[in-house]
Structure 1
Amino acid sequence: MFSKILIANRGEIALRVIRACQEMGIASVAVHSTADSDAMHVRMADEAICIGPPSSTESYLSVPAIISACEISGAEAIHPGYGFLSENAAFVQIVEDHDLKFIGPSAKHIRLMGDKITAKDTMKALGVPCVPGSDGGVPDFETAQKVAAEVGFPVIIKATAGGGGRGMKLARSAEDLETAFRTARAEGKSNFGNDEVYIERYLGTPRHIEVQVFGDGQGRAVHLGERDCSLQRRHQKVFEEAPGPNIDAATRARIGKVCADAMANIGYSGAGTIEFLYENGEFFFIEMNTRLQVEHPITEAIFGVDLVREQIRVAAGLPMSFQQDDLKVNGHAIEVRLNAERLPNFAPCPGLVNTFHAPGGLGVRVDSALYGGYRIPPYYDSLIGKLIVHGRDRPEALARLRRALGELIIDGVDTTLPLFFALLEQEAVQTGEYNIHWLEKFLAEKLEA
């Protein structure tokens, strides 16, 4: 087992990894920018090293600075958290070249799943259901016309290297196709340095369902059920729950086995999430995230496992501490993402947190690096915490969420807290009958009102 781990991240996820290290008796090293010198993860780690100025490109994304921090501290392994360098195959290779251990999948698997066309082709070959569409990239508009005619409108054009909703354009008819095609290519080029795009059938009212997988790198893999992440704004998840509402045990077992078998076949190591669009009982693969997800706590809640601990164990060469037969769903869990944003336009709202009070009680967990007197810097993502609740069933989880939201106090900055009170009053949320378009429509109607 490692004696010291460096966490190449900040905020609540850095704190999450530090806590796992503390429980495992492993020393932790925090890295931070000058803007984060008073951050909670800096205070909680055994050691802290400043790696640069506020700009993430000169600090949290600076590979030389992070490698140097490992050499200075004597850390043997790096946990990347999520975001920043967590899915950067070149970074993983550099880590390994310096005789350090990356706590996550191999550079090969990150590269394989980082390109959406390659990922789709791989998954198709492994028996994972995929959305009908082009076989690989679409080089020109004439080819796009042929593919769209074969697939049938509406279609969605996606940048191969895209993410976060960028480089995605919808064409509802042949008249829309050229503008959508050229815009998706331009966004791919400007945002990701790659203008290659592909085309898929556009599903009208799907849910966004993701399956948590975990492999030991030795040909063994399991699944830990699914999460429903359909409540999204601009392709960013807002409210997640596990298991997915209205997905039965047989369906869960079927798609879970397909995913676990696929990961076992490629020798995948560590945590990963296979994301699907789900409509009319059918799953269609869209992408794989080769890292820990923001919403991993709800899976931990219903299965009673520590995914970060498991990541560290497997990276150290130990076997997984559970097998598929050990994993039984227990109850229902919901997570809401707390962002420092001003409603109704969701504008970032950094500033001084005067008071912070986290809710408590049975089945309530708060993952946050906030504290009273902390000044949220303007340089990074606006996510400031996650409220996770667990109940014996979905109605109890919803009731617990309502109660916990009422206890939560964040004074001094605007947050998305009011949004969740509003969502809990909606019948679609109460019954779980929503899809990936529901929240955008709800927000548009509220703005009009």
Structure 2
Amino acid sequence: MRRSRAILTVLTAAAVTAGGFLTLTQAANAATTLGSAAAAKSRYFGTAVAAYKLTDSVYTGLLDTQFTMVTPENEMKWDATEPSQNTFSYTSADTIVARAKANGQRVRGHALAWHSQQPSWVASLSGTALRSAMVNHITNVATHYKGQLYAWDVVNEAFSDNGDGSRRSSNLQATGNDWIEVAFQTARAADPSAKLCYNDYNTDGVNAKSTAVYTMVKDFLARGVPIDCVGFQSHFNSASPLPSDYQANLQRFADLGVEVQITELDIAGSGTAQADSYSKVVAACLAVSKCTGISVWGIRDSDSWRASDTPLLFDASGNPKEAYNAVITAFGGTTTTSSPTTSSSPTTGTGACTATVANNSWTGGFVTTVTVKAGATAITSWKVALTLPTGSAVTSTWSATASGSSGALTFTNASYNGSLAAGASTSFGFQGTGTAFSGTPTCTVS
């Protein structure tokens, strides 16, 4: 995942207030959810999934009922799966894959070769050594998931944004102009059944960058280089809106014989304008027979890498937005969403709280999720104290405010998750370098 405005390599926020869970009526007519409405048109509707959020009941409730395809957000990238050279780690990615299979959902792998989110050891390699490391990485990871995935983003974001259609300058590009085709050939050898995709951003309309990708795909097909699909990230905002030739651009790729997939859709905005743009994306996909599906990049607005733009189909509490209904309607489905079930918000609360941690660790780094739970009495605010091991440091925090970055830290609730009914819980998290905290934090009502 690379963005046209900025590189974002941290995991994003997922805030849930107590009692904000969405109730979705599953009527006899199957086309009442995003996934079922898309399936009625022989398409999938997917989302990016973060393993550390799978303890969040609102998040998993929407994931289980609304989506038929999942894409691991960060868990299959090079830094996560091969933190040390030739030492592979699949725990978090395996969790997502196993959960998807148990729920009857398919999985898009993301991503085998990318210039970003590489493990630190890769920086010391170049030339033949780097090319060999890339081939070894793709072979091992694709073999590990052989037969389990619908598709792989084999190569991600290899073209520049300078307007001349050139390749991006990167360490992988420096190994030779054939690195992309070698990546695809390696992936095909490792997993013959997975669809192999090239994925990029700012390629949604006909422009120099998308034309360069088109030319590459056409060349690969002519020479027998295996490629089955092209992914269009489709991150839209006021500075980069849905282009008028979006459908035409999808169609020209489809005319080459490859599938087209909308892989990371999010549209900044709200209300009718946002809903209208989402409808147009669905309509474009339906108009192109080889457009096999749409995935949004996150579930709720608070799960988005650009949460302040409120770009997704559910608000931070898990309530469906106008755009949600517009998507289902565009697929020809029926919107039968009931009002959210909410518990009364406490007006006062000075009871006790507890905190527990769950870690996703790798060599040199970690992501920690902290669950805060109210005791027998409602609370209106909380603080969690813990001490990181020597040498460890927090690099980003979500759904709380940290007092510092190392040593003894205090995390204070955000404005939206301080009030908890008796027995209710919420979560916050942080990413860091070094070794994760492994004890029991202290929770106090502030």
Q: Which TM-score band applies after superposition, normalised by the shorter structure? A: under 0.3
Q: TM-score, normalised by structure 1?
A: 0.28
Relative to its length, the structure with more strand (as a share) is 1
Q: TM-score, normalised by structure 2?
A: 0.28
Relative to its length, the structure with more helix (as a share) is 1
